[in-house]
Structure 1
Amino acid sequence: MIIGGGWGNVPGHGRALLVANHAGIVPYDGAMIRTAIVAEHPQPRHARMLVVDWAFAVPFTNMLLVKTGNVLAHPDNATALLERDELVGVFPEGVKGAAKRYQDRYRIRRLGRGGFVQVALRTGAPIIPVAVVGSEEVHPVLADLQPLARLLGLPNLPITPTFPWLGLGGMIPLPSKWFIAFGKPIEVAHHGPEAAGDARLVLELSEQVREWIQTAVNQLRPRRQTIFF
């Protein structure tokens, strides 16, 4: 089940950058955001989600990611999509968010180094913060085997109640309830493309987005009477 809010903050057309918190060894949060917009938005449209490179190397998942319009996470790809007036989604917490232990769930990490802000400034795309609740429970991370991950060439190797014990079956998500909220657009076009080089402004905007997401997540969590169906 997906319960959403703030639909009016997502434009029915034109460029915009969705910035969300992230969790899970498989990017189900991107799929849920896409599904919510298509199913519930008054003017349904497809969001192009930016996904880290290692996710495309996971068997079966890679084909699904490509077929559903996901794109390799890179500033050039984000810029190209926004310049075509697409709706683009990004998860700046990246690998650190995906490997977050269950005991640290819903504590929003630093949103990268502000790369998403620079892309928004260069393209004039408004930034729409997105708070996601439900992603931390689909694959509760109990531990992260970093030494083995390095040997395998992976950024991390999360251990969950089902993975790797059930093999690929361990990537099947647990049936958590999802709440997704879209914040008011943060307009950045008036700063101009050259502002992408202003490190202070980039940091301020990045922290503004992080704080909104953290506050919204804190408000959404108590609304779930139960975590699972």
Structure 2
Amino acid sequence: MSESMADVIEVAGAELRYVKRRLGEAGESTWDRFLDWLVDDWFRLEVAGLENIPAEGPAVIVANHSGAWGLDGFVLQKVLTRGLSRRLHVPAAHLVFRFPVIGSYARKKGAIPLDPTLGWEHLTAGELVGVFPEGMTGLEKPFRKRYQLRPFSPGFALSAVRAGAPVVPVSVIGAEEACPRLGEIPALARLFGLPYFPVTPLFPLPSKWLVTIGEPIPAPRRPESYAARSAAARLLCAESQAAVQALVDRERRRRDTPFW
């Protein structure tokens, strides 16, 4: 290959990478503006209790997971990064990062691939980590069981105990009505390689959203033995789930109607 041809290929490759990067940035900017509109105008979101999130040091933000498409993760991250000067790291299913634009956007905003440590390294660095301990089971529950929390996985509590980080309970109201799970289509789930494919509106319904942040639950003093840490984590997990469920029940009663 001649030197001039190699130069042409190198320049063309650089230009293609530049165009791809700019298209990605444009897509992320569009998604960000869409989320702003969705949160402010479509969902008419109200937020209460931001003062309960520590101004410094590690903390685990624990919320209920609901709605067929898991929009609550994006909404919660948007809300907290708006109202705080702190970055929130949310462990997300690897599926999220497979989507063009959305995956790169989530990563830039602080989402991290889900693993058993649940953001342990960020907690030890004194940062905020947000988790949905119900996992996919929170999204898969039928509409008739809306806002009935599924059992919390205790991994977040063990990380909180090890890091000496408080747990901040959060309730998210509105996602169940915005994306109600009316059924599922297993064949489409297999076709697209998804955990499940819900029967739900193609576009979120305009439900009224409330995000309420409760008072922090202090982490127990760091037990030295693994058995003691595990026992403390189980207690903290149960206390956290009870706190989130209480917030959810209270805020559902406070909301006059799901769509106003």
TM-score of the two chains, using structure 1 as the length reference: 0.84
Higher RCO (CA < 8 A, seq sep 6+): 1
Q: Which residue identity does 1:17 align to in structure 2?
A: V
CA distance in 2, matches of 1:75, 1:123: 15
Rg comparison, structure with higher value: 2
1:201-216 matches, within 5 Å, as: 201-216=232-247
Q: Which residue identity does 2:201 align to in structure 1?
A: P
What SS does structure 2 have at the residue aligned with 1:50?
Answer: strand
Whether 2:194 is the aligned partner of 1:161: answer no
| Residue of structure 2 aligned with 1:9, choices 52, 55, 64 | 52
What SS does structure 2 have at the residue aligned with 1:128?
Answer: strand
Q: Which residue identity does 2:57 align to in structure 1?
A: G
Residue equivalent to 1:140: 180
Percent of aligned pairs with the same residue?
35
Q: Deviations over 1:114-133 (max 9, x none)?
A: 11111111111111111111
Residue equivalent to 1:167: none
Residue equivalent to 1:96: 137
Per residue, is there more helix in 1 or in 2? 2
Give yes or no for contact 2:68–2:176 (8 Å, CA) kept in 1.
Answer: no
Which of structure 1's runs of 4+ aligned residues deviate more than 6 A? Answer: none
Q: Which residue identity does 1:79 align to in structure 2?
A: W
Residue equivalent to 2:159: 119
Whether 2:259 is the aligned partner of 1:222: answer no
For the aligned residue pairs, the C-alpha RMSD in angstroms reads 2.2
Q: Give the CA deviation at 1:19.
A: 0.7
Q: Deviations over 1:74-94 (max 9, x none)?
A: 233511111111111001111
- Paired residues in the alignment total 217
Residue equivalent to 1:169: none
CA distance in 1, matches of 2:227, 2:90: 22
Q: 1:62 to 1:195 in 2, by over 3 A?
A: same
Moved more, 2-11 or 214-223: 2-11
Q: Deviations over 1:58-77 (max 9, x none)?
A: 34422221232211122335
TM-score of the two chains, using structure 2 as the length reference: 0.75
Give yes or no for contact 1:102–1:142 (8 Å, CA) kept in 2.
Answer: yes
What SS does structure 1 have at the residue aligned with 2:89?
Answer: strand
1:168-183 matches, within 5 Å, as: 172-183=203-214
